[in-house]
Structure 1
Amino acid sequence: MNDFEPRSLTASEWAVIREFVRTTITEAQQRTEARYPTRKLMGALTALARWAVLVACLPVEKSIILHRDTIAEYIARGCPTLAPTSQATRRTMLLRIAEAVLPPDERVSRLQPVYRDNPARPYEVHEQVALRSWAVGQTTPQRRRDCRTILALGLGAGLSTHDIMGLRVQDIKADDHGVLITVRDERDVPVLWQWEQELIDLIAEREGQQWAVGPQRTVTTKNWLWNFIATARPEVGVTPTVGRMRNTWLLHHMATGTPLGPLAAAAGLQTFRTIEKLFSYLPPPTRDEVRAAMRRHLRSL
């Protein structure tokens, strides 16, 4: 630690903050399990301290330099050459330092994300109609079947690329209650009735051990699916993407009142973060819809 010498600072600049940086990092590493290498933490804190003291003219005090507002302002103004992901990483390192060395009443609280993680836009109804046309318009029966299956798995069951690439025909079951997909023996996903027939036809046409999409392929990487869609005959005005299809399926269930617990279980979600990002696409309910939905009797209280 004592041999750390930042190249971006002059000797006189480093002398102003050197003792602060060294003692703070030493204390932080002693009080918490080191998630980041010491030299990376030294570099992050040096950059923050230089900006805070030499640019923002703040005193060399832990409670001020590591205050949440100082960190947020530094990330917003003090490192414009860093990419958003690098800014987020640096901020995380600084927050970990602050949590380790500040007393409980001075520790930082949750900050807003450095950059907005915008979700893939769900498909409109007319775009879903165009996607059906895309599948039907392929050049061979096998390509038409694969494209129709991709749509059924994406729009009808919300499967991810990883889910689709690992799915075999035998993982799809049809009975009197509809079509059910078992994903990697981990979860069951009921298929929307509008897409059930595509998968019923698939079960009738292919052997159980075959892949549901691309029965002759020998790889399970996501690039195969991306290349397959990219080389398929295009449809004017719409391009199928798995992320948008999955979000369309999620949004449908959110809008029609599927309870979030079963929805998260079927979608394989560990948190509601993905669902949260889609709220902006939900149509606002009417006053009567809110009243009827929240008065509905589900169980005795």
Structure 2
Amino acid sequence: MTGPDLATGRPVKLSASNASRPYTAAETAALWAWALAQPTAELRHGCQVLLALGLGCGLDSPEVVPLRAHDVRAADNGAVAVNVRGRRARLLLCRRPWEAVLAKAAREAAVPGAAAWLSRPRSHARAKNTVTNFLARTAKDPACPPLVQGRARATWLVGLIDEGVRLPVIVAAAGVDTLHALSRITPFVRPVPALEAGEQLRDGTP
């Protein structure tokens, strides 16, 4: 059925603390300001790395921890690729707004003769709680939401879907095997107006 009553997957209301709830544009801006305002260069670098990898590449904490500076490569055209390690190993491209941030962070972390970890380059210990422990040391801002890598990844995923990126591309970039793995973020996807939904169903208009 088409017309004003066509169902378009309107988002349901969920708790503000839901780990899958994407950050709004205002919250993303606040997080960036929070990262720049950290009291030390180490904290500023670490926060910017996490934001670029989460919001720009959709990486969660276990994928951030083992990354090294040389896993990030910048091309002549400005594109930045990340060689993700681990069980979801893959090569993906950073989203354009975060390319320069990630490339700069990789250059800063590339210390000759050192392990050159991308996140916390001066720390030799790598563990599941590496990201959590780092965030616990950051200066807090009551006007800024806490940085949660899962929410940053959800923001990245929803952004790709809302912009019409094809599902096979999203699945491959996210490192998942099935669309079921994306079900937790579907309530936050932008609803499609009934007229536009009808046109897409009828003609395949993007």
- After TM superposition, the score normalised by the length of structure 1 is 0.56
| 1:216-231 equivalences in 2 (<5 Å) | 216-231=122-137
Aligned equivalents of 2:116 and 2:196: distance in 1?
A: 45
Percent identity, please: 30
Alpha-carbon spacing, 1:235–1:293, altered in 2? closer, same or farther (3 Å): farther
The answer to whether 1:282 aligns with 2:182 is: no
Q: 1:203 to 1:231 in 2, by over 3 A?
A: closer
Question: Between Structure 1 and Structure 2, which shows a larger proportion of helix residues?
Answer: 1
Instruction: Sort the Cα spacing of 1:180 and 1:295 in 2 relative to 1 into closer, same or farther, 3 A.
Output: farther
Unaligned runs of at least 5 residues, structure 2:
1-17
Q: Which has the larger radius of gyration?
A: 1
**What is the alpha-carbon root mean square deviation over aligned residues?**
2.1
Aligned pairs for 1:234-249 (under 5 A) are 234-237=140-143, 238-249=145-156
Q: In 2, distance between residues paired with 1:294 and 1:256?
A: 20
How has the CA–CA distance of structure 1 residues 145 and 294 changed in structure 2, closer, same or farther, with 3 Å as cutoff?
Answer: farther
Task: Decide whether the 8 Å contact of 2:19 with 2:148 is kept in 1.
Answer: no
Higher-RCO chain (CA-CA 8 Å, sequence separation at least 6): 2
- Find the partner of 1:184 among 65, 85, 93: 85
1:232 and 2:138 aligned: yes
Separation (CA, whole Å) in 2 of partners of 1:177 and 1:144:
23
Q: Does 1:215 align with 2:118?
A: no
Following the alignment from structure 1 to structure 2, what is the Cα–Cα distance between the partners of residues 128 and 151? 9
Displacement of 1:126 in angstroms is 0.9
Q: Which amino acid aligns with 1:222?
A: K
Task: Name structure 1 gaps, 5 residues minimum.
Answer: 1-117
Aligned to 1:162: 62
Note closer, same or farther for the CA distance 1:130–1:294 as it changes in structure 2 (3 Å cut).
farther
Matched ranges for 1:251-262 at <5 A: 251-262=158-169
1:21-36 → structure 2 map (5 Å cutoff):
none
Deviation at 1:130, TM superposition (A): 0.8
Which amino acid letter does the alignment assign opposite residue 121 of structure 2?
Answer: P
Displaced runs of 4 or more, over 4 A: none
Aligned residue number for residue 201 of structure 1: 104
Whole-angstrom CA distance in 2 between matches of 1:289 and 1:132: 34
Contact 2:78-2:99 at 8 Å conserved across structures: no
